[in-house]
C-alpha cells in the first residue's frame, strides 16, 4: 500500500455543479412503441398484442413501461390521453 505524503489535494466544491440539462419534452417513441401504442388504443390486451407481433407478453409490458416513463404518466389512460394531446397518437 502506497503512503501519501505532502499536502492534501483541495476538494472541488460541489456547490457550483449543476445537473445536466433535461429536455422538457419527453423522448420520442420508437417505431415498435408507436405500434404497440396503436394496438393499446385499439383495445388489445398485452397477451393479444404479443401474439399479434410475435413477441412475449413481458416484452409488451416492457415497451408499455418504457412509453409510460418517457411520457411521464402512471397509467394507461394517462398514456393514451398524453399521446393524443401530444400528437403522437392520431384518432381516426
Residue 57 CB-density burial (10 A; 0-12 exposed, 13-18 middle, 19+ buried): middle
Question: Structural domain boundaries of the chain?
Answer: 31-86
Kindly report, residue by residue over 5-14, the tens digit of the pLDDT.
677 777 766 6
pLDDT at 39: 97
Q: Evaluate whether the domain defined by 31-86 bears CATH number 1.10.10.10.
A: yes
Residues 6+ apart with CB under 8 A from 51: none
Q: Which residue has the cell 389512460?
A: 77
pLDDT at 8: 73
pLDDT at 9: 72
Question: What is the spatial distance between Cα 35 and Cα 39, in angstroms, rounded to a whole number?
Answer: 6
- Mean local confidence (pLDDT), 68-83: 95
pLDDT at 20: 63
Q: Is the CB of residue 27 less than 8 Å from the CB of residue 58?
A: no
Q: Is the CB of residue 53 less than 8 Å from the CB of residue 35?
A: yes
Kindly report, residue by residue over 12-69, the tens digit of the pLDDT.
666 677 766 655 555 799 999 999 999 999 999 999 999 999 999 999 999 999 999 9
End-to-end CA distance of the chain: 70
Amino acid at each position: 500500500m502506497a503512503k501519501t505524503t505532502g499536502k492534501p489535494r483541495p476538494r472541488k466544491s460541489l456547490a457550483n455543479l449543476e445537473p445536466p440539462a433535461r429536455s422538457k419534452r419527453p423522448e420520442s417513441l420508437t417505431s415498435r412503441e408507436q405500434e404497440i401504442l396503436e394496438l393499446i388504443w385499439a383495445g388489445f390486451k398485452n397477451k393479444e398484442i404479443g401474439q399479434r407481433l410475435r413477441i412475449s407478453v413481458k416484452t409488451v409490458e416492457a415497451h408499455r413501461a418504457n412509453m409510460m416513463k418517457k411520457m411521464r404518466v402512471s397509467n394507461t389512460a394517462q398514456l393514451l390521453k398524453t399521446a393524443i394531446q401530444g400528437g403522437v397518437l392520431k384518432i381516426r
